[in-house]
Amino acid sequence: MFTTRPEIAGTFGVVATTHWIASQVGMAVLERGGNAFDAAVAAGFTLQVAEPHLNGPGGDAPIIIHDAMSNTQHVICGQGPAPAAATVAKFAELGLDLIPGTGLLPATVLGAFDAWALMLRDWGTWELADVMSYALGYARNGIHIVPRVSAAIESVRPLFEQEWRTSAAVFLRNGNVPAPGTLMARPALAETWQKLCGLATGSTREARIDSARNAWYRGFVAEAIGDFYQNHEILDASGRRHRGLLTADDMARWAASVEEPVGIDYHGHRLLKVGPWSQGPAFLQLLAILKGVDIAAMDPLGAEFAHTVIEGMKLAFADREAYYGDPEQVEVPLSYLLSEEYNAGRRGLIGEMASLELRPGVVPGRVPDVDHEAFKRVDYASRALGAGEPTVARLGAIGGDTCHVDVIDRWGNMVSATPSGGWLQSSPVVPELGFCISTRAQMFWTKAGHPNSVAPRKRPRTTLSPSMVLRDGKAWMSFGTPGGEQQDQWQPIMFLRMVHHNMTIQQAIDAPSFHTEHWPSSFWPRAARPGKVVLEGRYDPAVLEELKRRGHKAEMGEPWSEGRLSAARLEADGQMFAGANPRGMQGYAVGR
């Protein structure tokens, strides 16, 4: 089977990310004696400069790790919560039935920095200043600009020029959009990072990292954010100007946490995901539904495979809509949703024809609450610049993605991380710091009583969803993708093709893929397109026609348009393999 590039192989270490510079930075750390955790942190900070339209220092970062020494896996929660002032009543007072997707109101506590710092402190070996030196150098001296960065800035140029002047000062050079192929420096961000590293003091490496964390969440960074958000009224996707709700005190009261992953056994593999504060368990539910289906007998590029997987996704994501939320504040019946008995019943709902309904399952003692009117909001996103999730241009935003990082080192440590948020196009730059803040609170509902209703210090049910797989009880593969709603669509498609059809990482990444937009999006304006399926343009037209015959509202997308995956795996003989997405000509896997 032809692949766009080799699935690289080595025995020393491998790194795969959504940008070739970040991949090479991670590999440079491994070559200098760092471990996978050091390398992932360095790559993660580099992505904040290399892909500012997809993530930033003010964003989020859920991470799954495998610690080879203890043979254990852990989740590091880099999803910050809502501010204390974010309540259902507050948004009702503002006359908002949806939290805007841009501006100051949808801000959450920025979680990425503490997640990276916590992983570095407890599992890494390097100093914070050393892992940050690569990103800091690019911020100070400039980094190569890919066409999608320029396109993203151009898409919101009028907003920057007319309203978000602090962003114009950073991203419009002398009033102009940086041209593709040129270098873009971020001097204010470099100054912030340099000051932070200077405050990393203490008698031990761990104490120095904690000093930097304190400066970020209880020092000059938190103070600058609190001042900007409390004292400015900024135009957002609602068409009105609002002050922010985020305060320095919200920052001070939060820290990244370590949790146990949730998982499911599937055909000799155990898939691990973060908890139901993410959509990740929907992937687990899909596998639970498909356990009783002969996927191996299906053509992985055929209509039967696509139909079956899509119908299973519809059922899993309907449950996401009905039951998922922050388990620290609401009870999520995840054990029941993953049970054999429950999913046997769900499996029976997959028929010959496509369902156009949103069908959450029935959990004893619970009344599922889903939005059946989301299709009415399809045209909202086109009304607001910078709105929507960056992947899906159809929702009114420029094409792009989140980011992803996979690393395996020579000791067998493994990292799967999906950093995102703080996109340049969704919130204005805090001028003293040189970066934007996450708008993840747009994923909350503003109605009372829903598991994902907005509430003080509650985590929004994010789309960010890294993955890790064990095989025969040993860490086997880390993988993930950008893509919002598509993250837990493209990932299972890749995984199923590897498990049942013996594809390699690169073959599974390169193979044409698909997605559905059947259920409400997690991003403002929370629109749905029931029954809609998009096949990548390299599919056989006969597959499209068969899906239409089965009742799917299917269409053919552009060639090389579906999927942003990367992955790395470790085999029993000590060989490591990695692959990355060729779409967009940006992702890369490196190793030796």
Mean pLDDT is lowest, of 43-47, 84-88, 583-587, for: 583-587
Alpha-carbon span 579 to 567, nearest angstrom: 6
DSSP letter for each residue of 411-449: T--EEEE--BB--TTTS--BTTTTB-B--GGGGSB-STT
Alpha-carbon span 566 to 583, nearest angstrom: 11
For residues 280 and 274, the answer to whether their CB atoms sit within 8 Å is: yes
Alpha-carbon span 248 to 114, nearest angstrom: 15
Hey, what are 447's tokens?
Answer: 């109605």
pLDDT at 394 exceeding the cut of 60: no
Alpha-carbon span 547 to 539, nearest angstrom: 12
Hey, what are 513's tokens?
Answer: 């893929």
For residues 571 and 577, the answer to whether their CB atoms sit within 8 Å is: yes
Mean pLDDT, residues 225-229: 98
pLDDT of residue 380: 81
Tell the residue number behind the tokens 């698909």, with chain if given.
514
pLDDT at 151 exceeding the cut of 50: yes
The secondary structure element, H or E, covering residue 170 is helix 165-171
Picking from 314, 281, 318, 327, the residue whose alpha carbon sits closest to that of residue 452 is 327
pLDDT at 382 exceeding the cut of 80: no
Mean pLDDT, residues 76-88: 98
Amino acid found at 470: L
Mean of the per-residue pLDDT values of the chain: 95
Mean pLDDT, residues 578-587: 95
**422-459 pLDDT per residue, tens:** 999 999 999 999 999 999 999 999 999 999 999 999 99
* Confidence band for 335, pLDDT divided at 50, 70 and 90: very high
CA trace torsion 507, 272, 55, 10 (10° rounding) = -50
Picking from 565, 438, 571, the residue whose alpha carbon sits closest to that of residue 489 is 565
Hey, what are 410's tokens?
Answer: 């020579």
pLDDT at 392 exceeding the cut of 80: no
pLDDT at 156 exceeding the cut of 60: yes
DSSP-based three-state secondary structure for 515: strand
Alpha-carbon span 482 to 60, nearest angstrom: 13
pLDDT at 388 exceeding the cut of 80: no
Percent over 70 (pLDDT), the chain? 96
pLDDT at 381 exceeding the cut of 70: no
Mean pLDDT, residues 464-487: 97
pLDDT of residue 401: 56
Domain residue extents for the chain: 8-259+401-443, 262-377+468-591
pLDDT at 236 exceeding the cut of 80: yes
Q: Residue 525: is the preceding peptide bond cis (ω within 30°)? A: yes
For residues 343 and 288, the answer to whether their CB atoms sit within 8 Å is: yes
pLDDT of residue 282: 98
262-377+468-591 carries CATH number 1.10.246.130: yes
**3-48 pLDDT per residue, tens:** 999 999 999 999 999 999 999 999 999 999 999 999 999 999 999 9
* Confidence band for 326, pLDDT divided at 50, 70 and 90: very high
**246-287 pLDDT per residue, tens:** 999 999 999 999 999 999 999 999 999 999 999 999 999 999
Tell the residue number behind the tokens 């393999």, with chain if given.
577
pLDDT of residue 362: 96
* Confidence band for 417, pLDDT divided at 50, 70 and 90: very high
pLDDT at 391 exceeding the cut of 80: no
For residues 418 and 465, the answer to whether their CB atoms sit within 8 Å is: yes
For residues 90 and 244, the answer to whether their CB atoms sit within 8 Å is: no
pLDDT at 387 exceeding the cut of 70: no
The secondary structure element, H or E, covering residue 143 is strand 143-144
For residues 496 and 269, the answer to whether their CB atoms sit within 8 Å is: no
* Confidence band for 351, pLDDT divided at 50, 70 and 90: very high
DSSP state letter for 55: B
